[in-house]
Structure 1
Amino acid sequence: MARLPRLTVPDYPHHVIQRGNNRQPVVVDDEDRETLLGLMAESAARHKVAIHAWVLMDNHFHLLATPTTDRGLPQMMQALGRRYVQLFNRRHQRTGTLWEGRYRATLVQTDRYLLACMAYIDLNPVRAGMVQRPADYRWSSHRHYIGQTQDRLVTPHPLCWGLGNTPFAREAAYADLVQQGIAVDQQRALTDATLKGWALGDGDFLGELETKAGRRTARARPGRPISRKSADPQR
């Protein structure tokens, strides 16, 4: 069966994962990390993609991003991937591929999953045992949202402004949100949907996306049609 094109819809947040081939490191040191982030900022600006959250791990990275065009996110990721591999290979005197095929992505329902996805991204280094707290990890957008740094790569999603009436209130509310963590079922849903490329949200959200994208947005269950109400793991 032919693989469906990757689902990308303008003006909706997308959770993106790009992994290293065979789980090999995609960054070796801080110079690599700075290079990758710099290229990410350039490519996002060029292709009109707002990056709301990010984390660089040793062998993969996560983004939460909203494109303004239907080609913006794929073009950004293609340009970023190609240019970074060229620089990485030249610097480390290597050849060949770096990435595990094409990136993985899913659309997430804003009011239901956006903040959970941000916390999920921030908590990656904690789950990996690299740090005890997200604030202890330099290579993510978490410290921007709690007021410890100013990150030129980050464009806060409008939903974040609702966390408080002042910058201090928003920073405190976000820090508390991440400290509380996310439910296991939300974590599983975010991972599964992103790796499989299906949208994540309730039935109304999936129906809206299907109308705009002109294609299925969730995997059909074998043997009978899937109801839109049952497509959301939270129901």
Structure 2
Amino acid sequence: MPRIPRGHLAGHAFHVLNRGNGGSTVFHADGDYRAFLELLAAAKARHPIKILAFCLMPNHFHLVLQPIRDASLSPFMHWWMTSHVRRYHRFYRSHGHVWQGRFKSFPIQQDGHLLTVLRYVVRNPVRARLVEQAGEWPWSSLRCPQLLDPFPGSGPDDAPDWLDAPLLDDDLATLRTCVNRQQPFGSPQWQRRIAARLGLEATLRPRGRPRKSQPEK
């Protein structure tokens, strides 16, 4: 499959994900999580990015980001990830790949779809059965709100209540498809429009070879 274009336009929200190389654990102790968040704050200070949500898991992370300027998301991620890899190797006296490769991302329609993604992100530890409620996990934006920018649809005082509401099975299945294919998450009309604008049309096409037409009998 060809590489997905990096069309990160200002004002659009994006879900961003990366995993440890080969699914390996990246965050071995509380200090690893803290150092990663410190680097996240440093990256935000260097690059024009809004952070709407995040969740660090033992072997991967999720973020919802909104670039303030066109094409600012990739430099933000590059600085953050390379700074972390240097810190990781220095601390653990290791070498080689820490992450599986370049990060994955997909754009999000900024209506109820964005609120669904915010819930998806912070409820990762609940689905992994690490905690019973999203607010119990110490390494998400629910517990570290100082890194966040205001997000549409709710004030910060209301966020914990509605963010911990379980997702519908259909929404969860659709989001997993978007994660795997880097497919825009939104209404069908919005998907087609934003895919054309960002060069993501391939993510909307069915996978596999087209069926051969059968002769009439």
**TM-score category, normalised to shorter length:** 0.7 to 0.9
The code of the aligned residue for 2:186 comes to G
**Secondary structure of the structure 2 residue equivalent to 1:201:** coil
CA contact (8 A) 2:135 2:160 kept: no
CA contact (8 A) 2:106 2:178 kept: yes
Other-structure match for 1:205: 190
Deviations 1:167-192 (A, max 9, x none): 6xx42xx3332343110111121121
Q: Given the alignment of the two structures, is residue 152 of structure 1 paired with residue 149 of structure 2, yes or no? A: no
The code of the aligned residue for 1:205 comes to W
Other-structure match for 2:79: 79
CA contact (8 A) 1:206 1:218 kept: no
Other-structure match for 1:61: 61
> What is the alpha-carbon distance in structure 2 between the residues aligned to residue 40 and residue 69 of structure 1?
18
- How many residues of Structure 1 are paired with residues of Structure 2 in the alignment? 209
> What is the alpha-carbon distance in structure 2 between the residues aligned to residue 158 and residue 178 of structure 1?
13
Backbone CA RMSD of aligned residues:
2.1
Other-structure match for 2:100: 100
> What is the alpha-carbon distance in structure 2 between the residues aligned to residue 43 and residue 179 of structure 1?
28
- Pairwise CA distance, 1:139: 0.6
Structure ranking higher in helix proportion: 1
Runs of 4 or more, structure 1, over 6 Å off, are none
> What is the alpha-carbon distance in structure 1 between the residues aligned to residue 10 and residue 122 of structure 2?
24
Other-structure match for 1:117: 117
Stretches of structure 1 lacking an aligned partner (at least 5 in a row): 145-150, 162-166, 225-235
The code of the aligned residue for 1:112 comes to G
CA contact (8 A) 1:199 1:217 kept: no
- Pairwise CA distance, 1:210: 4.1
Other-structure match for 1:47: 47
> What is the alpha-carbon distance in structure 1 between the residues aligned to residue 24 and residue 122 of structure 2?
21
Q: Percent identity?
A: 30
- Pairwise CA distance, 1:110: 1.2
**Secondary structure of the structure 2 residue equivalent to 1:180:** coil
